[in-house]
Structure 1
Amino acid sequence: MDDATRALIDRITTDTAPVRPLRKGRGLALAGLAFMVTLVAVLFVLGARHGLMTGQFSVYFLVVNGLLLVLGLSCVTTVVAMASPQVGAGHEGPKWAIAMVGVLPAAAVLSATAPDGVGLMHVEGVHCMYLGLAASVLIAAALFVWLRRGAPVSQRLAGFYLGVGAGALGSVANGMACPNDTIAHLGIWHVAPVVIGALVGRYGIARWLRW
C-alpha cells in the first residue's frame, strides 16, 4: 500500500467511532415501555372505565381492543425490524392485521345506520379520537427514535407502519378509560387514530427517516 492510499484511508477513518449494534430486543423494550407509560398515564388522568378490573365489559370492547392490540404489536415488531434491513425481509405481517381492523368501520356504519342505531357524529366520539391521538404520541416518538438510529430502506413504508402501530396502541390505551361499548363508537372513533396516524407517518414522518 503506497503512502497516498494510506493517507486517504487515515483521513476517511479520522472521525469514525464504534457504535452500539441495534438489537431488536432493545427496540421492542423501548416501544413497550412507551406503551406502558402511556397506559399508566391514561388510567391516572382519566381513570379506568367501569368494569375494567372485574371483567364487566361488552364483547365489542374485547374484540375491537383485541384487534387494535394485535395490529399495534404487529406494526411495532415490523418497525423495529426495519431499522436493521436484511436481505429478503418482506415486512408483510401487518397487512393481515390491517385487513382485520378494516372490517370494524364497516360494522360501525352498519350498526349506526340501522333503524335503532345511535348515529356516528357525536361529541364523545370526536373527544375519544383526540385522546387516542394524544396517547399515541409517546409511542410514535419511541419508534421514531429507534428508526433514526437504524437505516430503514423503505422510509415511506416504515413511516406508515410507525403511524399505524402508534395509533393502534394509543387507541388501546385510551380504550381502557373510554366508557362507550357500542360498535358504532369503537369501530369509528377508536379506529380513526390509526387512519390519521398512518397518513401522518406516511406523508410526514417518513421524510425525516432518510439517512
Structure 2
Amino acid sequence: MRKTDDIIDALVGDLKPVPRHALARRFAAGALPALAVSLVLMLAILGLRIDMAEALMLPVFWIKSAYNALLATAAFLAAYQLARPDGSRGRFFPFAAAIVAIMTVVAVSQLMMSPAETYRTLIIGSSAPHCPLLIFLFALPVFAGNMWVLRRGAPTDLRLTGFIAGIAAGAAGAWVYSWFCTENGMPFVLVWYSLGILLTGILGSLLGPRLLRW
C-alpha cells in the first residue's frame, strides 16, 4: 500500500494548477494569428475588391460579412467547450441552423424582389466554380491554428470536435474571402459560401480522430 502511495505521489508531485482562462488564451493565441495569416494570404493573392468604397455602403456586403462572422463565432464557442473532457457542443447546431435559416429568408427575399433574368447572376454569379475552393484555401491557416489549440486540450468526441473546428475555420476563411468577392447575390452566398465552409468542416471530421487523439 505504501508503494502505491509513493507511486501516486511521484506522478502528481510535479502537477501545477492550470491558470484561469488558459484555454481561452490558447484559442486567442492560435486563432488570431492564423486569421491574420489568412488575411495576408488573401491580400497577397487576390487583394481587396476593386469597388471596396462603394461596397462598404451596400447592405448586402455587411449581410454577407455577418453571415460568416456569426457562423464562425458560434463554431469557435462550441469548439472551446468541446476542448474540455466534460465539454459538449452546447447549442451550436440550433444556432447554426438559425443563422442559415435567416440567410435563406434573405436570399429568397432578394430573388422575389428581382427580375427573373437576374436569377442566374444572383445564384451562380461569375465565380461559383472557384469560390468554395478559395474559401477552403483561406480557411487552412485557421484550421491549423484550431488543431494546434485542440491538441493541447482534452476533447473526447474527436470527430465532432474536428467538424466544428473545421466549420469555425471555414466560416473565418469565408469572412476573409468576402473582402475580395464582388458577388452581391445572397443566394450565391448561401449556396457557395456555405459549401466552402462545409468542405472545411468535412476535413475536420476526417482529420479530427487522427490529429486530436490523446
TM-score (norm 1): 0.80
Give SS of 2:129's match. helix
Aligned length: 207
Q: Select the residue among 170, 179, 182 that pairs with 1:179.
A: 182
**Aligned residue in 2 for 1:69:** 69
Contact 1:105-1:191 at 8 Å conserved across structures: no
Matches within 5 A, 1:35-50: 35-50=35-50
Give the whole-Å Cα distance in 1 for the aligned partners of 2:104 and 2:197. Answer: 12
Letter in 2 for 1:79: A
Give the whole-Å Cα distance in 1 for the aligned partners of 2:46 and 2:16. Answer: 45
- Higher helix proportion: 2
Q: From the superposition, tell whether residues 57 and 188 of structure 1 become closer, same or farther in structure 2 (CA, over 3 Å).
A: farther
**Aligned residue in 1 for 2:34:** 34
Q: From the superposition, tell whether residues 95 and 132 of structure 1 become closer, same or farther in structure 2 (CA, over 3 Å).
A: same
Please list the CA deviations of residues 151-203 of structure 1 after superposition, one character each: whole Å capped at 9, or x if unmatched.
1122222112111111111011011011121223222222211121222222x
Give the whole-Å Cα distance in 1 for the aligned partners of 2:142 and 2:17. Answer: 24
Q: From the superposition, tell whether residues 122 and 42 of structure 1 become closer, same or farther in structure 2 (CA, over 3 Å).
A: same
**Aligned residue in 2 for 1:134:** 137
**Aligned residue in 1 for 2:120:** 118
Contact 1:159-1:206 at 8 Å conserved across structures: yes
Letter in 1 for 2:67: L
Contact 1:28-1:77 at 8 Å conserved across structures: no
Name the Cα RMSD after superposition: 3.3
1:25 deviates by 2.2
Letter in 2 for 1:153: T
Letter in 1 for 2:46: L
1:72 deviates by 0.4
Letter in 2 for 1:43: L
**Aligned residue in 2 for 1:197:** 200
1:74 deviates by 1.9
Letter in 2 for 1:34: A
1:61 deviates by 2.2
Give the whole-Å Cα distance in 2 for the aligned partners of 1:76 and 1:60. Answer: 24
Contact 1:71-1:94 at 8 Å conserved across structures: no
Contact 1:42-1:135 at 8 Å conserved across structures: yes
Contact 1:43-1:176 at 8 Å conserved across structures: no
TM-score (norm 2): 0.79
Q: From the superposition, tell whether residues 53 and 38 of structure 1 become closer, same or farther in structure 2 (CA, over 3 Å).
A: farther
**Aligned residue in 2 for 1:81:** 81
User: Which stretches in structure 2 are left out of the alignment for 5+ residues?
Assistant: none
Please list the CA deviations of residues 107-133 of structure 1 after superposition, one character each: whole Å capped at 9, or x if unmatched.
369839972212645662111111101
Give SS of 1:190's match. helix
Q: From the superposition, tell whether residues 40 and 97 of structure 1 become closer, same or farther in structure 2 (CA, over 3 Å).
A: same
